[in-house]
């Protein structure tokens, strides 16, 4: 269920960005048409925001529905968020293509009303928000995503915390997506009101990994600074500034992680006590339709140390052993289709594929990937992703580095 929710969220990001696909065509500024530039044309605009969020926790396990020491439903949570963000300088190419778009970092504290069994985690995260549509002169519809790490959970423990069968580690990934109305109250102050969905998970690196899902309301105040008083000047803009050079780029990514595995035995899944390495790479030619959208095919190679692991019958009271097959039953070569939504600094991508060359077993079926690429230089990036099997089975994290060859996308800080 949580996997499908994540795919719906990312798909919504593509759909909601109404002006996103319009930007796959050239920016709507004609060559030699005067453009208004200001004194702040080389200054970043900064934002500081404070949010309060109230959420409903989905009762996905008995622990959340009264099967806990408190003997009450853990159906609500509260969180406070402190965020800093910036937008690209006014007058730059990036500000023309990605108008009213901010990216930054956030810090939040969660209260689940049961700190003894669930904890009171603190999360640090990256985020990005952007306008979907301008509704009136002072109200716009925006979206925002958050991605980071949360620490301070009370994980499952057979002796000390046996009821909590949803959280298996002290550190968990934090993912959030929301849509909201931004109200311009006065010159530099905006009010944010909206709804969001949140997911916590350890990425199958520990057992249990049921995760925690919730949805709720948010309200926040944002203060903008760094935008100078306009001093208007006009000059023509050349074709380099106004046109996107459609082209094919090539992404090469190498990643690795570790994972846990439930092994089939006597009609049930028995958790293996071992952690298994995962190493992979993919090469993806991608056609760049415009500033915001690219799509293509990918050749995917994987070594999954947990693939086709098996166990055998054993004598009660003795330790159950788990066995690894030959390495050729743990490697595969596959192909996938990928689409990516491109924004300043961050790119979000989804992929669907299938292993083509393999020895069967766990390597059969389809796989899906969800990835965040964080640009470190013009063509090098960090890769943070997750892989799933058949849309419902947790697979493994994809933590790695990537490089984009033949990258002809114009520099966003370019100013004509």
What integer is the mean pLDDT of 100-121? 96
Question: How does pLDDT run across 165-210, given as a tens digit for each residue?
Answer: 999 999 999 999 999 999 999 989 999 999 999 999 999 999 898 8
Half-sphere exposure for 118 (CA within 13 Å, toward CB)? 24
Assess if CATH 2.40.160.20 describes domain 44-225.
yes
Q: Which of 7-11, 70-74, 91-95, 232-236 is predicted most confidently?
A: 70-74
Higher-confidence residue of 396 and 15: namely 396
Task: For residue 13, name the pLDDT band (cuts at 50, 70, 90).
Answer: very low
CA atoms of 353 and 144, how far apart (whole Å): 28
Q: What is the pLDDT of residue 344?
A: 95
CB 220 within 8 A of CB 191: yes
Q: What contacts 24+ positions apart, CB below 8 Å, involve 181-185? A: 181/135, 181/139, 181/140, 181/141, 181/142, 182/131, 182/139, 182/140, 182/141, 182/142, 182/222, 183/138, 183/139, 184/138, 184/139
- Is residue 95 within a helix (H) or strand (E), and if so which, with residue range? helix 93-97
pTM: 0.86
CA atoms of 102 and 88, how far apart (whole Å): 8
- Cα-based distances in Å from 318 to 190, 207, 315: 64, 22, 6
What are the extents of the domains in the chain?
A: 44-225, 247-405
Tokens 């089939």, located at residue: 264
Domain 44-225 and domain 247-405 have a common topology: yes
What integer is the mean pLDDT of 317-331? 92
Show Cβ contacts of residue 57 under 8 Å, excluding neighbours closer than 6 positions: 64, 74, 75, 76, 77, 112, 212, 213, 214
CA atoms of 275 and 277, how far apart (whole Å): 7
Q: Structurally, what CATH architecture does the domain formed by 247-405 represent?
A: Beta Barrel (2.40)
Q: What is the pLDDT of residue 10?
A: 47
- Nearest Cα to Cα of residue 142 among 5, 16, 7: 16
What integer is the mean pLDDT of 246-270? 93
* pLDDT cut 70: percent of the chain above it: 85
What integer is the mean pLDDT of 99-119? 95
What integer is the mean pLDDT of 300-321? 91
Mean pLDDT of the chain: 87
Q: What is the pLDDT of residue 229?
A: 53
Task: For residue 3, name the pLDDT band (cuts at 50, 70, 90).
Answer: very low
């Amino acid at each position: 269920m949580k996997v499908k929710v994540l795919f719906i969220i990312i798909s919504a990001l593509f759909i909601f960005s109404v002006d996103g696909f319009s930007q796959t065509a050239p920016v709507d500024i004609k060559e030699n048409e005067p453009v208004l530039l200001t004194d702040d044309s080389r200054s970043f605009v900064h934002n500081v925001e404070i949010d309060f969020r109230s959420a409903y926790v989905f009762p996905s396990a008995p622990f959340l529905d009264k099967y806990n020491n408190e003997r009450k439903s853990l159906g609500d949570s509260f969180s406070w968020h402190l965020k800093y963000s910036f937008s690209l300088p006014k007058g730059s190419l990036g500000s023309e293509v990605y108008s009213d778009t901010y990216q930054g970092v956030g810090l939040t504290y969660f209260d689940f009303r049961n700190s003894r069994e669930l904890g009171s985690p603190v999360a640090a995260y990256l985020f990005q928000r952007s306008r979907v549509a301008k509704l009136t002169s002072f109200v716009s519809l925006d979206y925002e995503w958050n991605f980071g790490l949360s620490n301070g959970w009370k994980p499952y423990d057979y002796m000390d915390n046996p009821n909590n069968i949803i959280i298996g580690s002290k550190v968990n990934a934090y993912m959030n997506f929301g849509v909201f109305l931004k109200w311009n109250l006065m010159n530099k102050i905006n009010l944010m009101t909206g709804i969001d969905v949140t997911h916590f998970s350890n990425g199958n690196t520990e057992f249990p990994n049921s995760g925690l899902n919730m949805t709720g309301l948010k309200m926040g105040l944002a203060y903008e600074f760094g935008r100078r008083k306009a001093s208007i000047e006009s000059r023509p803009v050349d074709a380099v500034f106004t046109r996107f050079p459609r082209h094919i780029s090539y992404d090469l990514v190498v990643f690795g992680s570790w994972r846990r595995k439930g092994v089939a035995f006597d009609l049930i899944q028995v958790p293996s006590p071992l952690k298994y390495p995962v190493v992979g790479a993919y090469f993806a030619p991608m056609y760049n339709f415009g500033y915001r959208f690219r799509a293509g095919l990918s050749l995917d190679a994987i070594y999954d140390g947990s693939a086709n692991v098996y166990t055998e019958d054993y004598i009660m009271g003795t330790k159950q052993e788990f066995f690894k097959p030959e390495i050729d039953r743990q490697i595969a070569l596959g192909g996938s289709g990928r689409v990516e939504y491109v924004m300043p600094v961050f790119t979000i991508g989804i992929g669907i594929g299938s292993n083509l060359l393999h020895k069967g077993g766990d390597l059969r079926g389809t796989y899906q990937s969800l990835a965040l690429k964080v640009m470190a230089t013009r063509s090098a990036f960090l890769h943070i992703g997750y892989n799933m099997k058949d849309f419902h089975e947790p697979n493994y994290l994809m933590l790695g580095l990537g490089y984009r060859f033949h990258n002809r996308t114009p520099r966003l800080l370019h100013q004509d």
